[in-house]
Chains A and B, each alone.
Chain A
């Protein structure tokens, strides 16, 4: 079946431009993208976009779905519906479940579940070490055969440099992508905030932003030594940026990401111990937020993701130090990202490179592009529509969003995955 999107503002992140025109999909792929209005095929369904944006669907790197282990927090079904409503057409899922996704058997199980339950593409990642314990590497080869797109121990840093170096070496032999969490595990142990006046006044155990740079420096040195493909999951501080720039300049196969919350919130948002703002790494100072946003605008940081981390009320209704870290983000990623555009920090095509083209390219996926033959994974959205976020209306099973009650702009109107509509706003 053909679908013709007319009167669209088409965001082409690859060419770095926005054009007004028409996009035609045929079955699961994009057939044509043109500035003119082509002759409408008789059998086609016409979608009038009314001058709204049509962009490649978001490829969200680092989504946590709590299967296996904690389905009450998030299942593939609920996460998939949230993704569809948020314009996310591909979820790259994290292996930090309980138990961890560290064997081909568990990976096959979750892939099967995901394909049945989620209306969007699900691409799983697997743990780099068994049980994410940082001692023995997982069966990287078998896991790749079973579909693992990348290998990461998530927020468990492999602290033993020898273990990490061997895993990187082995992974590089297979061309596998390793994702690190640059955070010195000793300095950051027990920390609930970023060190500084605010953390001191609140009396919270805090970690210096230097812990990020130290860990990144180590990881990059090991990447230089092993030649592995490496991605830093979240770069959130000014001090880490020069190291990243140097590594890229020296030709290492390195990319970096940042979570949307670190781009839109700062440490002061914690205010009176609001645990929905407790993240890992903790929120940073405003200077860091702006520097990191600038790094995204310049392309130094490649990928923006939601770092979707569902936590139930019980895990969050605790004293700040004891409360669990993380926030849900699948449904709020797009409106939060619009703040960056409206605030003049990042332009629309660059934003879309970070949201869909770059993550797709880094993981070797075909999405993220508006081009003939690319998959028809699309999001139609209104960048300006205002609303007040009501967390009780989120589709996630967990409602731990820091944006509750906040005024936002940017609404998803419809989401298409492989040419079929998986979400339509009412």
Chain B
């Protein structure tokens, strides 16, 4: 079981094999996480630092629990409150932390490429927990695991991603991952929320939601950021909900056993109907959160193995 990467910066760098390796391991952790005794020892002795330059509750908590279940010493740093405000550059902050010899660095940053930049400057393994509009690899992996468990496979599915594609790192990572696994991807949303050059992505684009949802196996909703609702990108919240909000009526166009996903946090009544989100027969939103911990445990374990391997090689 090899995972030939020093960092997890994005889905772009992963092969089909890497993805399957990671999901297989995560599957086992998903089972472990349902046991009363959830402890494993893959990260014992290692130090994990969560550096979040952008607000996050669920992703940070998920990484923290994942690290703790595997025995790592976990530290959280809320970076908005720290030296960044005092004018320290990202690289200086990274170098300072690097001097404390962490083994795993989990980073979220509001700017695309910032995590790549940081990874070039430190000795430890870096996990991208979301950088700007670029990538959010663990989210795509947990979505993939959720789909695989619900559908029994992760290929030749028809998957719709709906909403604000342009500003979404979740969408980018999912498009890359689901494409690599050979699924059919449909993007649904108003043209103002589609990224430029979308025609070259190997996806189908729809601005009519009912048409886009026709016979899909998976419906992935995206969060619409509040700051985009002011008339700049869409006319109003209610028009958006009318045209692109997922409700039972629109979902009827999808396959009968289609599952509904959302990366959270949800805006009920903006992009998704509240009752539908809670419908345990259709919605796998809670499973996504659960799989998040398992996928992050797997990702950190695979990177930690490589760290220890590198140590052995250096010593010999």
A203 x B169 contact (CB < 8 A):
yes
A272 x B113 contact (CB < 8 A):
yes
Q: Is A37 an interface residue (CB 8 A)?
A: no
Q: Is A384 an interface residue (CB 8 A)?
A: no
**Residues of chain B in range 76-112 having any CB-CB distance to chain A below 8 Å:** 89-91, 109, 111-112
Given known A201-B172, A203-B133, contact A320–B112 (CB-CB < 8 A): yes
Given known A198-B197, A201-B172, A208-B196, contact A321–B91 (CB-CB < 8 A): no
A200→B193 CA distance, assembly (Å): 12
A203 x B134 contact (CB < 8 A):
yes
A273 x B132 contact (CB < 8 A):
no
Interface residues on B, range: 20 to 34
B113 x A202 contact (CB < 8 A):
yes
A322→B12 CA distance, assembly (Å): 23
Residues in A neighbouring B200, C-beta threshold 8 A: 196-197
Nearest-neighbour CB distance to chain A for B201, whole angstroms, equals 7
B113 x A319 contact (CB < 8 A):
yes
Shortest Cβ distance from B132 into A: residue: A203
Shortest Cβ distance from A192 into B: residue: B112
Q: Is A204 an interface residue (CB 8 A)?
A: yes
Residues in A neighbouring B113, C-beta threshold 8 A: 202-204, 272-273, 319-321
**Residues of chain A in range 168-211 having any CB-CB distance to chain B below 8 Å:** 195-204, 206, 208
A331→B196 CA distance, assembly (Å): 36
Most chain A CB atoms below 10 A, which of B89, B133, B197, B201 = B197
B134 x A202 contact (CB < 8 A):
yes
Q: Is A314 an interface residue (CB 8 A)?
A: yes
A200→B112 CA distance, assembly (Å): 11
Q: Is A166 an interface residue (CB 8 A)?
A: no
Nearest-neighbour CB distance to chain B for A186, whole angstroms, equals 13
A197→B172 CA distance, assembly (Å): 11
Residues in B neighbouring A320, C-beta threshold 8 A: 111-113
Residues in A neighbouring B114, C-beta threshold 8 A: 319
Given known A202-B113, A202-B134, contact A318–B197 (CB-CB < 8 A): no
Residues in A neighbouring B117, C-beta threshold 8 A: 273, 317-319
Nearest-neighbour CB distance to chain B for A165, whole angstroms, equals 30
Shortest Cβ distance from A208 into B: residue: B196
Residues in B neighbouring A199, C-beta threshold 8 A: 196-197
Mask for A296-322, Cβ within 8 A of B = 1, else 0? 000000000000000000100111111
Q: Is B235 an interface residue (CB 8 A)?
A: no
Shortest Cβ distance from B197 into A: residue: A197
Residues in A neighbouring B271, C-beta threshold 8 A: none
Q: Is B198 an interface residue (CB 8 A)?
A: yes
Given known A206-B196, A318-B90, A321-B111, contact A197–B201 (CB-CB < 8 A): yes
**Residues of chain B in range 99-142 having any CB-CB distance to chain A below 8 Å:** 109, 111-114, 116-117, 131-135
A273→B128 CA distance, assembly (Å): 15
A314→B89 CA distance, assembly (Å): 9
A208→B116 CA distance, assembly (Å): 25
Residues in A neighbouring B135, C-beta threshold 8 A: 203
A203 x B112 contact (CB < 8 A):
yes
Nearest-neighbour CB distance to chain B for A316, whole angstroms, equals 11
A320→B133 CA distance, assembly (Å): 12
Mask for B184-223, Cβ within 8 A of A = 1, else 0? 0000000000011110110000000000000000000000
**Residues of chain A in range 196-228 having any CB-CB distance to chain B below 8 Å:** 196-204, 206, 208
Shortest Cβ distance from A321 into B: residue: B111
B131 x A203 contact (CB < 8 A):
yes
Shortest Cβ distance from A272 into B: residue: B116
Residues in A neighbouring B195, C-beta threshold 8 A: 200
Partner of A203, one of B90, B91, B172, B197: B172
Shortest Cβ distance from A285 into B: residue: B197
Residues in B neighbouring A206, C-beta threshold 8 A: 196
Nearest-neighbour CB distance to chain A for B122, whole angstroms, equals 14
A319 x B109 contact (CB < 8 A):
yes
Residues in A neighbouring B172, C-beta threshold 8 A: 200-201, 203
Shortest Cβ distance from B198 into A: residue: A200
Shortest Cβ distance from A204 into B: residue: B112
A208→B12 CA distance, assembly (Å): 25
A71→B135 CA distance, assembly (Å): 39
Mask for A378-409, Cβ within 8 A of B = 1, else 0? 00000000000000000000000000000000
Residues in B neighbouring A200, C-beta threshold 8 A: 166, 172, 195-198, 201
B89 x A318 contact (CB < 8 A):
yes
Nearest-neighbour CB distance to chain A for B175, whole angstroms, equals 9
B111 x A317 contact (CB < 8 A):
no
Mask for B243-256, Cβ within 8 A of A = 1, else 0? 00000000000000
Residues in A neighbouring B201, C-beta threshold 8 A: 197, 200
Shortest Cβ distance from B12 into A: residue: A201
B131 x A317 contact (CB < 8 A):
no
B196 x A322 contact (CB < 8 A):
no
Known pairs A197-B196, A204-B112, A319-B109 / 5 extra A-B pairs, C-beta < 8 Å: A198-B197, A203-B112, A203-B169, A319-B90, A319-B132
**A-binding residues in B (CB < 8 A):** 12, 89-91, 109, 111-114, 116-117, 131-135, 166, 169, 172, 195-198, 200-201
Q: List 14 A-B contacts (CB under 8 A).
A: A196-B196, A196-B200, A199-B197, A200-B172, A203-B113, A203-B132, A203-B133, A272-B116, A273-B112, A273-B116, A273-B117, A319-B132, A320-B111, A321-B111
